[in-house]
Structure 1
């Protein structure tokens, strides 16, 4: 009987434990509540944070902290085990995620987190911890299994003590401003499955591959944008369990994809974009039959798209854009029923768009979400079959030869969020059409939309990027558009003929990029929001002062980085309210009617990289720019500035690439400090009152010395724009108006390839310095209208890149150097009105120029009509002996005179009798001369 009771008691106990366990696991029958010490720790943590969107509103008083936002407790012990404070308001483009700054937690990470001794999950991503180092105390939180500090604005070296977190399975430190000296601490994380160090500077970590290869549990490895320039060989890939390998944008110096990659047969995700890989797409990739995502974009792969790519039955994403590939979308691709994303930009498909739609019309059409065929030599009409892609949300067919109307079947794509049909020959839709979709991005650049502003745009309530530039719109923008477009981040309506006045935009708080350039807008400058980052009103008919525009809310720091106001009718002085525009990088006020001196506050623009003030009526000095030491481009041409060229230009503008002081009243000598501008590619000092000699140190302009100079890259301004902008990373190129080959031209896309020196129309004198011939990358050299003397440097032929030479209207002498015949790129030459002599050297180039190129000299030979047989010229090797011949001629005359003198006088001195007879002889001769003169007078 007792045995039965014991058994019954044990059974009761087991049932009770099971019941309690079930209730705990369900989290509804029993709850301990958070511990007081941990609640206080969270409140201390909150005190150091700003929370503009009140995400931590529930963290108050003596409430149960296990119920607070982002907090998860163990239902048995009550200890906090998870803290998830990730900014929930993030959005993605094709390259990366981004956070809404208005919902970020801002501040510092309080060490009170150490009191959460059972914390195993910590996510602080997409917040702002204001440029401090990763707190060392995190390295002591030994129970952590999950740590995510991505997008948190941490800086400095990753503390190697992170290797003490031996329980970590997930580590994400991506998209901060971090670096490492090495990765020797990583093997301490032996349980690590997921590692993301994207955007961490690993350039010094030569051990990166060897170390990561020692992590036996590693499943996902993300090292994008880590400045890894060498991809070492690997005998055996121990991390053969990898399912994700992301090496995006490292620009490896290796030419080919290493063989060890082909052994990672469990890979599901492979991203090798932007890495300089070349050759055909490697055959070894065929081994990776588990691949679902294959991204090879923006390398140097060539030849055809291999047909075996279309045998990856599991493939969901295929990206081979921006290589040197060609081929066709073939019928077998129709069997890839799992395809969600196809990116074939800049692949020479040479197909009609209707054929591609036919191939995708089967099982592919129902699942396809992203289709990118930008610049892929696609032609023909958009057909009704566009409407078959019911799940398509991203469509980019830009930069092709697609013609005809935009089909109404576009209206069947209710999930569309991104459309870019720019740079085709497409026609607009019916003005009364109401689309079923709500777009975030719409690009119709260079499409013909008709003269009226499309009214169907009013129905788009979520549009944040709109590009209708070059679209033939000639009317005005309806007021309803300005009032309903408050959600737009980027608006580009440039290069149309839109007229009317621009309304005040102070309430357009979301607007960050506004481009209305090259239209017919008139009236005064409107007031703008302080959140605007890029503003282009150039080439309109806007008039009046800029005082109200620049000085609006004068004490409020502006976010503006790019301001283009050139080519308007703005007038008056440049008001002195620039001190709150310290984010400004490009300022273009050229081609207006501004007057007066430069305001002192321009010197507060410490971020300014490009300043264009050309063609105004500005005067005085440029001294207020002395503190703008970030300048790469300075163009103050065609004004009334009067001063010596400041010596501090060479001292303070060490990164200067373009310097244009043309058509002012600068005077005195050329400062030698200009030779210190090693990155200078364009220097235009023409039409001033400069004098003296050209400094011999001119060969220090290194950007003009070598054809392989990287200095040109400094002229390209790369700025990461926002997800609303398409594409998300844009290249803004500097432009400059320069005189080359005798005419003014604006250079933009290829400006970084241009090298010019123009010292014309000044008072320079002396010889052309021999050192100038070291500038082998120089393309245009203009010294005309000066007072240069001496010879053209004999070694000028070493300047092989020269395309234009103008030495006219000087006092140069001697022959044209024979080496000039080797300037095979030369297509503009003017040596007229000098004192040059001799025969024009024979070459295809020199004889191809008009005779006017050599006029006003003493030259002969083609292309001049004067034959050199009629012109006795001293051979070149005798020219140098002319002075020596003259010397010996004068010596001979002197010796002859002295010899004759002593032959006559010597005997007279030696003999008195001879002297007597000689005087009597002269006396008789004198009498005869007098007699003859008397008779003549009669």
Structure 2
């Protein structure tokens, strides 16, 4: 950063963000910047090196220093900045406790983001007033802070905050709260979820996931008529899903996975037309999956794994338009923006999924996910052929059920499929040839079924390990070691059926060999006959080859005769 920038006395905005600039930013860079109001150095390789007692010559309104080297100490110079509206210091390398003066100082801020640092401190007795507050991914402890009615977003996820959620919710019930986003996920909160939700009518996104909450899901959450996202995953919630939640008719995201919920999945849940993600995995749900499920035309993730669901898979899956690639899903937002003044102020949805056996977090790329996971249930019957019409589906897991019948013949039309798991069922018949067309397939598990016949030949299917096919004793062909010749019959019908798979055992092989020889022989002869240059070269080569053979044979014969005569002379001498 040029030192001469510090001489621009009329400079109001200094924006060097999102560059490859590197090196130290020192006090000399700001000496004459008396009128500076906006300092934007985010996403650079620059780092601030100033004295702890430095008093800047300016009064900033916008301080945007995310992904910029500020730490390891918390910047004390901020204390002298009395006009700041926006403070962004995410990923700033700060490893320190937040000074006590900061919380009172922050009351006049409209927006502040201290996320993704190593900040410590007890937030139990602090009061927050900013419209947007992001303290996520730090090491704050204590109980949840108090907030004013002005707060629109509070994100304290990924900390060590304990206690219950009730003091935050039930503390002030008279004011009209503006809170739209509340994310307290990945903390150590416990107890029940309280009954004060009716006072937070502006909530659009509520994330209480990955804590130790217990008890029932409160009926009062159903009064949040504007709610679009509800994340209750990875807690110890029990009983059933309250019917009042059907009042949240604009819901897009529901994640109640990894709890102890029971009873059947409510029928009204299949009628939530805006639903994008439904994740109820690892609970105790029973009953069947009704045909009404196919009304969820906007669904991109359906995860009902690890329950006790029975019955058959609905045969109307082709009506799920987004998974079939018929809908423009990009019209549905996965983020929420707040405050008309700050275009960078948004909250993005994230989701943890198990697409290929490993749990992964999807955030920026969640919009691309198309997934159905019905594994580890008691589903029976055949896999409906309509599933082959879900051409946009990327991950399909139907393993650990009681499914029978054959693999749908047209499953190869699911061109974007990356992961397919049908293991541990009772599926029979042959592996469809169409599966060899799945060029994006990187995970395949067909093990422990009753599949038979030759594994279709393709670069894709032969690239998987034998574990993908094990437990099917009637399967044969690469990559497994079972020899297809002994498995396949020698009847005429079998030969015709597998003509393309067992080519060496049919008459077509011998016909092809004869035709190939004739074409090759007469092709070479024609070239030699009609091309004079090639003809001369060919006969020169033959003459040269004849001479080489003749000389080689003569030399070999002479050498052998010499050895023979030498041996004969030795025998005569010994006699």
Q: Same-fold call, TM > 0.5?
A: yes
**In the alignment, is the contact (CA less than 8 A) between 2:124 and 2:142 conserved in 1?**
no
TM-fit CA distance, 1:712: 3.9
| Alignment partner of 1:476 out of 84, 93, 97 | 97
**In the alignment, is the contact (CA less than 8 A) between 1:713 and 1:752 conserved in 2?**
no
| Alignment partner of 1:554 out of 173, 197, 200 | 173
Supply the distance in 2 between the matched residues of 1:601 and 1:877 (Cα, whole angstroms). 67
Call closer, same or farther: CA 1:464–1:716 in 2, change over 3 Å. same
TM-fit CA distance, 1:868: 1.8
TM-fit CA distance, 1:387: 2.1
**In the alignment, is the contact (CA less than 8 A) between 1:792 and 1:812 conserved in 2?**
yes
1:667 and 2:282 are equivalent in the alignment: no
Supply the distance in 2 between the matched residues of 1:668 and 1:764 (Cα, whole angstroms). 10
Aligned-partner SS, 1:675: helix
TM-fit CA distance, 1:518: 0.7
**In the alignment, is the contact (CA less than 8 A) between 1:532 and 1:560 conserved in 2?**
yes
- Counterpart for residue 628 of structure 1: 248
Supply the distance in 2 between the matched residues of 1:771 and 1:760 (Cα, whole angstroms). 18
Call closer, same or farther: CA 1:865–1:552 in 2, change over 3 Å. same
1:818 and 2:439 are equivalent in the alignment: no
| Alignment partner of 1:439 out of 45, 60, 69 | 60
Supply the distance in 2 between the matched residues of 1:767 and 1:878 (Cα, whole angstroms). 24
TM-fit CA distance, 1:557: 2.4
1:410 and 2:30 are equivalent in the alignment: yes
Call closer, same or farther: CA 1:565–1:466 in 2, change over 3 Å. same
- Counterpart for residue 454 of structure 1: 75
Call closer, same or farther: CA 1:572–1:876 in 2, change over 3 Å. farther
TM-fit CA distance, 1:410: 2.7
Aligned-partner SS, 2:107: coil
- Counterpart for residue 709 of structure 1: 327
Q: Deviations over 1:708-763 (max 9, x none)?
A: 6312431423425242x3xx254532111111011111101011111000000000
Supply the distance in 1 between the matched residues of 2:270 and 2:155 (Cα, whole angstroms). 31
Aligned-partner SS, 2:411: helix
Alignment of 1:757-796 (within 5 A): 757-796=372-411
Supply the distance in 1 between the matched residues of 2:456 and 2:15 (Cα, whole angstroms). 56
Call closer, same or farther: CA 1:877–1:770 in 2, change over 3 Å. farther
Aligned-partner SS, 2:31: helix
**In the alignment, is the contact (CA less than 8 A) between 2:273 and 2:295 conserved in 1?**
yes
- Counterpart for residue 467 of structure 1: 88
**In the alignment, is the contact (CA less than 8 A) between 1:779 and 1:803 conserved in 2?**
yes
Aligned-partner SS, 1:662: coil
Aligned residues: 491
**In the alignment, is the contact (CA less than 8 A) between 1:632 and 1:714 conserved in 2?**
no
TM-fit CA distance, 1:530: 1.3
Aligned-partner SS, 2:198: helix
Supply the distance in 1 between the matched residues of 2:33 and 2:386 (Cα, whole angstroms). 66
Supply the distance in 1 between the matched residues of 2:402 and 2:497 (Cα, whole angstroms). 26
Farther-moved stretch of structure 1 (869-878 vs 687-696): 869-878
- Counterpart for residue 586 of structure 1: 205
Supply the distance in 2 between the matched residues of 1:715 and 1:852 (Cα, whole angstroms). 40
Supply the distance in 2 between the matched residues of 1:738 and 1:837 (Cα, whole angstroms). 32
Q: Which protein, 1 or 2, shows the higher relative CO under an 8 Å CA cutoff with sep ≥ 6?
A: 2
- Counterpart for residue 277 of structure 2: 658
**In the alignment, is the contact (CA less than 8 A) between 2:444 and 2:464 conserved in 1?**
yes
| Alignment partner of 1:614 out of 233, 243, 253 | 233
TM-fit CA distance, 1:843: 1.1
- Counterpart for residue 603 of structure 1: 222
Call closer, same or farther: CA 1:498–1:604 in 2, change over 3 Å. same
- Counterpart for residue 747 of structure 1: 362
Higher gyration radius (CA): 1
Aligned-partner SS, 1:496: coil
Call closer, same or farther: CA 1:782–1:414 in 2, change over 3 Å. same
Task: Kindly report structure 1 stretches of 4+ aligned residues shifted beyond 3 Å.
Answer: 503-506, 729-732, 873-879
Supply the distance in 2 between the matched residues of 1:432 and 1:731 (Cα, whole angstroms). 34
TM-fit CA distance, 1:411: 3.5
**In the alignment, is the contact (CA less than 8 A) between 1:499 and 1:522 conserved in 2?**
yes
- Counterpart for residue 268 of structure 2: 648
**In the alignment, is the contact (CA less than 8 A) between 1:585 and 1:607 conserved in 2?**
yes
Supply the distance in 1 between the matched residues of 2:418 and 2:121 (Cα, whole angstroms). 45
Call closer, same or farther: CA 1:760–1:411 in 2, change over 3 Å. farther
- Counterpart for residue 485 of structure 2: 869
Supply the distance in 2 between the matched residues of 1:470 and 1:802 (Cα, whole angstroms). 36
Supply the distance in 1 between the matched residues of 2:224 and 2:60 (Cα, whole angstroms). 38
Supply the distance in 2 between the matched residues of 1:669 and 1:504 (Cα, whole angstroms). 49
Call closer, same or farther: CA 1:709–1:875 in 2, change over 3 Å. farther
Call closer, same or farther: CA 1:528–1:505 in 2, change over 3 Å. farther
- Counterpart for residue 497 of structure 1: 118
- Counterpart for residue 445 of structure 2: 830
**In the alignment, is the contact (CA less than 8 A) between 1:499 and 1:521 conserved in 2?**
yes
Aligned-partner SS, 1:794: coil
**In the alignment, is the contact (CA less than 8 A) between 2:444 and 2:468 conserved in 1?**
yes
- Counterpart for residue 228 of structure 1: none
Supply the distance in 2 between the matched residues of 1:828 and 1:412 (Cα, whole angstroms). 61
- Counterpart for residue 488 of structure 1: 109
**In the alignment, is the contact (CA less than 8 A) between 2:66 and 2:91 conserved in 1?**
yes
TM-fit CA distance, 1:499: 0.9
1:563 and 2:182 are equivalent in the alignment: yes
Supply the distance in 2 between the matched residues of 1:854 and 1:712 (Cα, whole angstroms). 37
Supply the distance in 1 between the matched residues of 2:2 and 2:300 (Cα, whole angstroms). 50
C-alpha RMSD over aligned residues: 1.6
**TM-score, length-normalised on structure 1?**
0.51
1:530 and 2:145 are equivalent in the alignment: no
**In the alignment, is the contact (CA less than 8 A) between 1:504 and 1:528 conserved in 2?**
no
Call closer, same or farther: CA 1:528–1:720 in 2, change over 3 Å. closer
Q: Deviations over 1:173-229 (max 9, x none)?
A: xxxxxxxxxxxxxxxxxxxxxxxxxxxxxxxxxxxxxxxxxxxxxxxxxxxxxxxxx
- Counterpart for residue 245 of structure 1: none
**In the alignment, is the contact (CA less than 8 A) between 2:281 and 2:306 conserved in 1?**
yes
| Alignment partner of 1:639 out of 252, 259, 284 | 259
Call closer, same or farther: CA 1:877–1:616 in 2, change over 3 Å. farther
**In the alignment, is the contact (CA less than 8 A) between 2:4 and 2:29 conserved in 1?**
yes
Aligned-partner SS, 1:669: coil
| Alignment partner of 2:19 out of 378, 391, 400 | 400
Aligned-partner SS, 2:247: coil
TM-fit CA distance, 1:863: 1.2
TM-fit CA distance, 1:877: 7.1
Q: Deviations over 1:850-905 (max 9, x none)?
A: 110010012111111223223215759759xxxxxxxxxxxxxxxxxxxxxxxxxx
Alignment of 1:197-236 (within 5 A): none
Farther-moved stretch of structure 1 (457-466 vs 390-399): 390-399
Supply the distance in 2 between the matched residues of 1:752 and 1:866 (Cα, whole angstroms). 42
- Counterpart for residue 40 of structure 2: 420
**In the alignment, is the contact (CA less than 8 A) between 2:124 and 2:143 conserved in 1?**
no
Call closer, same or farther: CA 1:437–1:822 in 2, change over 3 Å. same
TM-fit CA distance, 1:448: 2.0
Alignment of 1:28-107 (within 5 A): none
Aligned-partner SS, 2:22: strand
Call closer, same or farther: CA 1:876–1:590 in 2, change over 3 Å. farther
Supply the distance in 1 between the matched residues of 2:221 and 2:438 (Cα, whole angstroms). 44
**TM-score, length-normalised on structure 2?**
0.83
**In the alignment, is the contact (CA less than 8 A) between 1:634 and 1:658 conserved in 2?**
yes
**In the alignment, is the contact (CA less than 8 A) between 2:251 and 2:274 conserved in 1?**
yes
Q: Deviations over 1:819-847 (max 9, x none)?
A: 00000000000000000011111111111
1:689 and 2:308 are equivalent in the alignment: yes
1:521 and 2:157 are equivalent in the alignment: no
Aligned-partner SS, 2:309: strand
Supply the distance in 2 between the matched residues of 1:631 and 1:798 (Cα, whole angstroms). 32
